Amino acid sequence: MTTKLQQDVGVIKGIGTETEKKLNGLGIFTVKDLIGHLPFRYEDFKVSSPEELEHQERGTLQGVVQETPVVRYYGKKKNRLTVRMLVGYVLVTVVVFNRAYLKNQLEPGTTISATGKWDKHRLILTAQYISKEEMQESSGLEPVYASTANVSVRHLKQWIQTALHEAGHEMEDLLPSALKEAYKLPDIVETMHEIHQPTDRIALKHARRRIVYEEFFLFQLSMLAYRKKQKQEEPGTPLKFEESLLRAFIAELPFSLTSAQQQVIRDILADMALPARMNRLLQGDVGSGKTVVAMIAMYAAVIAGKQAAFMVPTSILAEQHAKEIEERLTPYGIRTSLLTGGRTEKQRKETYQQLAGGEIDIIIGTHALIQPEVPFRDLGLVITDEQHRFGVKQRRTLRDKGQHPDILFMTATPIPRTLSISVFGDMDVSKLNELPAGRKPIETYWAKPAMLERIVRFLDKEINQGRQAYVICPLIEESEQLDVQNALDIHAELEEMLPHQTVGLMHGRLPQEEKEEVMRAFSAGETSLLVSTTVVEVGVNVPNATVMVISDADRFGLAQLHQLRGRVGRGSEQAYCILIADPKTEQGQERMRIMTETSDGFELSERDLKLRGPGDFFGNKQSGMPSFKMADPVHDYRALETARSDADKLVNSASFWEHPDYKALREYLEEKGALEHQTLD
């Protein structure tokens, strides 16, 4: 038996086949979907008095029509209706455009209410809405719905009301009653009525509170339940490795691990030793020493007889990591190799064969690693660095190359806690919240372009003391060509201003070998100054570099500036970051200030998030940010955390999987595609 809720929207009076198609375009297929189409805001028709309203504020005034309205026509079909009404003792002029037909309805003596923008000085209300009804009765709140150009919002609203009236009572409440009671949340039927036809502000507030909580709760529950199932159904392979070998390797490192590194390594090794598959996110601020952690994890996998893959976003970074890993691990008999788009066909073929034959233990590379023809003999561990730069699909492809390999994501973009729960809710998270000992905080300055000469003198001084520096060129969106041109110009300018120094040049258009050579020369200290586009943004590690100059710094996001700044301060010398910018907007200036105030990536990202909002945080759709109808992970983070912990308790209780009380909830999860995965993995 199908209920009205489950029927196609076409059953609602007024919705024909054509309209039905249009509604489908809005994601509305069933009556239930229609009811689930929530308003994105409310129009406030609460009646105000003229004294209460500010100049240019929106509001509703109610008064008595004094004289017959006047209509003026101009242009084709355009007109303007003016009506005077007395509000208390104030004579207000109401102006409405293109609604001449109202003239006969607004007879002198009728009470009307008009909503629009208030001109306090001229006592004119330019109205969008005008109505003969007295508004005191209702809450004065009218839902406003999103629609598309070809479905009228007015009709949509009508249909929703009809659907609610005819089928609203059939809505099934998914929230367990214990939770509703605990948080005093209204039930679903009441909630939906309140959302679509608010009776008063307080009731609406509670209805929204429920929707927000429910959205978070269901999202977290699907994620956690999926993860639980996945752990049961596709167990990973427990890896066995001789810990004394790892200890020997760690003892031979030129530095001692920070306690944060030790903790993270313990977490990772414990995961790898378990039959369940590791799904862990390692967040570590720039310079916190993630590479060596990755190295130790990969070494452990190899000791256990497996292969490990390390995927990074750029070939420069792949080169650098490959070199470092090779240097450190070859002495222990580990065979490493590099795979990037820059390798020749022949080199690649050879690498494939060695991978398939198990002659390579650790492979480091770019997305070239995930081409379908890349074979592995027995891939046991996959690590991706700067994981947010890869799409969800790319990461999955890599993972699917092994027999349930363990997965470790590493990121230096500290993800604010709020977002990390919503986006990575299904992962275990480790943090490297400690920099290696002896690091001095980077001193950051914000300079105006006019100060260029002083900056160059400063560079000169630092270089003469044996240090090195980067100068990063402005980023010109969507045009690598222009980025390159910029880099060329700045390079020429600096060579002229610093004739005694060696200035290198790096940009994305250089052929692969040249890039490698430029990077090698800078690493080796043969060039003192490196002018570069953002290709050096991630991961590049030249500890002797102490100055980072970023030109037109206001063109970069905070996370990116922080990444760039992280290229210096990687050794024991005092490091500096100079942001050259003259931002015109308040927000731009605030960003520069934040950079000078903090070098803690986590604090920075929290502040960035507040400044920009969650949608923009990752800057792209690939990030897997879930979208909610009403809930906002930043604004409603308390609800998010509560929902998260409630969902966690529930999936881990035996009764959830059996008790009839949770049947609807279980069915909901089932319907979502057998606990369909909604996030990154």
Could you list the residues that contact Mg ion (CB under 5 A)? Answer: 539
Choose among ligand ADP, Mg ion, none what residue 541 binds, the Cβ cut-off being 5 to 8 Å by kind.
ligand ADP
323 by Cβ neighbours in 10 Å (0-12 / 13-18 / 19+) ranks as middle
Which of 380, 539 has the CB closer to Mg ion?
539
Stretch that binds ligand ADP, among 147-155, 191-199, 236-244, 256-264 (CB under 6 A): 256-264
Q: Does 258 bind ligand ADP (CB under 6 A)?
A: yes
Q: Answer with the entry of ligand ADP, Mg ion, none that 258 interacts with (C-beta below 5 to 8 A by kind).
A: ligand ADP
Task: Give least dist CB 251 to ligand ADP, A.
Answer: 13
**DSSP SS3 for 37:** coil
Report the partner that residue 525 touches, choosing among Mg ion, ligand ADP, none (CB closer than 5 to 8 A by kind): none
Q: Are 593 and 444 in contact (CB under 8 A)?
A: no
Residue type, 353: Q
- Helix (H), strand (E) counts: the chain: 23, 22
Supply the DSSP string of 104-141, one letter for each residue: GTS-TT-EEEEEEEEETTTTEEEEEEEESS-SSSS-SE
Residue whose CB is less far from ligand ADP, 405 or 436? 436
Measured from the CB atom, the residue of 413 and 418 that comes closer to Mg ion is 413
Residue 274 contacts residue 236 (beta carbons within 8 Å): yes
Cα atoms in the Cβ-side hemisphere of radius 13 Å centred on 577: 27
Return all residues near 262 (Cβ < 8 A) that are at least 6 apart. none
With respect to Mg ion, which residue has the nearer C-beta, 474 or 539?
A: 539
Asked if residue 365 binds ligand ADP (CB under 6 A), the reply is: no
3-state secondary structure of 428: strand
388 is a site residue for ligand ADP (CB under 6 A): no
Q: Which residue is nearest to ligand ADP (CB)?
A: 289
Q: Shortest Cβ distance from residue 279 to ligand ADP (Å)?
A: 20
Out of Mg ion, ligand ADP, none, what residue 179 binds, judged by CB under 5 to 8 A for its kind, is none
Structure-block tokens of residue 442: 């980077």
Q: 369 vs 383, which CB is nearer to ligand ADP?
A: 383
How many C-beta atoms surround the C-beta of residue 573 within 10 A?
Answer: 18
> What is the sign, positive or negative, of the torsion defined by CA atoms of 625, 629, 632, 636?
negative
Q: Which is nearer to ligand ADP, 286 or 338 (CB)?
A: 286
Q: Given the DSSP bridges, would you call strands 576-580 and 545-550 parallel, antiparallel or unpaired?
A: parallel
* Residue selected from 288, 351, 387, 501 as contacting ligand ADP according to rule CB under 6 A: 288
Instruction: Tell me if 261 contacts ligand ADP by CB under 6 A.
Output: yes
Determine, following the binding rule CB under 6 A, whether residue 364 of this chain makes contact with ligand ADP.
Answer: no
Residue 288 binding partner per list Mg ion, ligand ADP, none, with a CB distance cut-off of 5 to 8 Å that depends on partner kind: ligand ADP
Quick one: CA dihedral 6, 12, 18, 19, positive or negative? negative
User: What is the DSSP-derived secondary structure letter of residue 8?
Assistant: B
503: tokens are 């200035």
Least CB distance to ligand ADP at residue 262 (A): 9
Minimum CB–partner distance for residue 264 and Mg ion (Å): 14
Minimum Å gap between C-beta 597 and ligand ADP is 21
Contact 69, 83 (CB under 8 A): yes
Q: CB under 5 to 8 A by kind: which of Mg ion, ligand ADP, none does 286 bind? A: ligand ADP
Residues 566-585 that bind ligand ADP (CB under 6 A): 570
Q: Is 412 in the site for ligand ADP (CB under 6 A)?
A: yes
Helix (H) or strand (E) holding 91: strand 90-97
Question: Which of Mg ion, ligand ADP, none interacts with 342 (beta carbon under 5 to 8 A by kind)?
Answer: none
Binder among 36, 140, 236, 287 for ligand ADP (CB under 6 A): 287
Name the binder of 96 from ligand ADP, Mg ion, none, CB < 5-8 A by kind. Answer: none
- The minimum distance between CB 410 and ligand ADP, in angstroms, equals 7
Residue 290 engages ligand ADP in binding (rule: CB under 6 A): yes
Only one of the segments 96-104, 107-115, 257-265, 275-283 lies at the binding site for ligand ADP (rule: CB under 6 A); that segment is 257-265
Residue choice 69, 236, 284, 557 for contact with ligand ADP (CB under 6 A): 284
292 touches ligand ADP by CB under 6 A: yes
Q: Which long-range contacts (CB under 8 A, 24 or more apart) does 262-270 make?
A: 263/430, 264/293, 264/430, 264/431, 264/432, 265/293, 265/296, 265/297, 267/428, 267/430, 268/293, 268/296, 268/297, 268/408, 268/430, 269/241, 269/243, 269/297, 269/300
Closer residue to ligand ADP (CB): 416 or 539: 539
Tell me the site size for ligand ADP, rule CB under 6 A. 18
Buried b (16+ CB within 10 A) or exposed e, 232-260: eeeebbebebeeeebeebbeeeeeebbeb
Question: Whole-number minimum distance, CB 566 to ligand ADP, in Å?
Answer: 6
Q: How near is the Cβ of 446 to ligand ADP at its closest, in Å?
A: 23
**Smallest distance from ligand ADP to CB 300, Å:** 17
Site membership for ligand ADP, residue 286 (CB under 6 A): yes
Give the contact letters, 425-454, x = binds to ligand ADP (CB under 6 A), - = no. -----------x------------------
Query: Do the beta carbons of residue 142 and residue 152 sit within 8 Å?
Result: no
Structure tokens at 666: 């279980």
577-582-586-589 Cα dihedral, nearest 10 degrees:
10
Task: Report if residue 255 touches ligand ADP, rule: CB under 6 A.
Answer: yes
Contact 181, 210 (CB under 8 A): no
In the chain, the amino acid numbered 429 is V
Interface with ligand ADP, residue 289, by CB under 6 A: yes
Report the C-alpha gap between 232 and 254 in whole angstroms: 41
Q: Which does 564 bind (CB under 5 to 8 A by kind): Mg ion, ligand ADP, none?
A: none
* Entry field: residues in the chain: 681
| Under 8 Å between Cβ of 305 and 378 | yes
Q: Pick one of ligand ADP, Mg ion, none as the site partner of residue 313 (Cβ within 5 to 8 A by kind).
A: none
- Return d(Cα 275, Cα 272) in angstroms, integer: 8
Closest CA to 386 of 404, 413, 367, 365: 413
| 530-549 footprint of ligand ADP as x/- string (CB under 6 A) | ---------x-x-x------
Q: Amino acid letter at 664? A: A
Q: Which residues of the chain form contacts with ligand ADP (CB under 6 A)?
A: 255, 257-258, 261, 284, 286-292, 412, 436, 539, 541, 543, 570
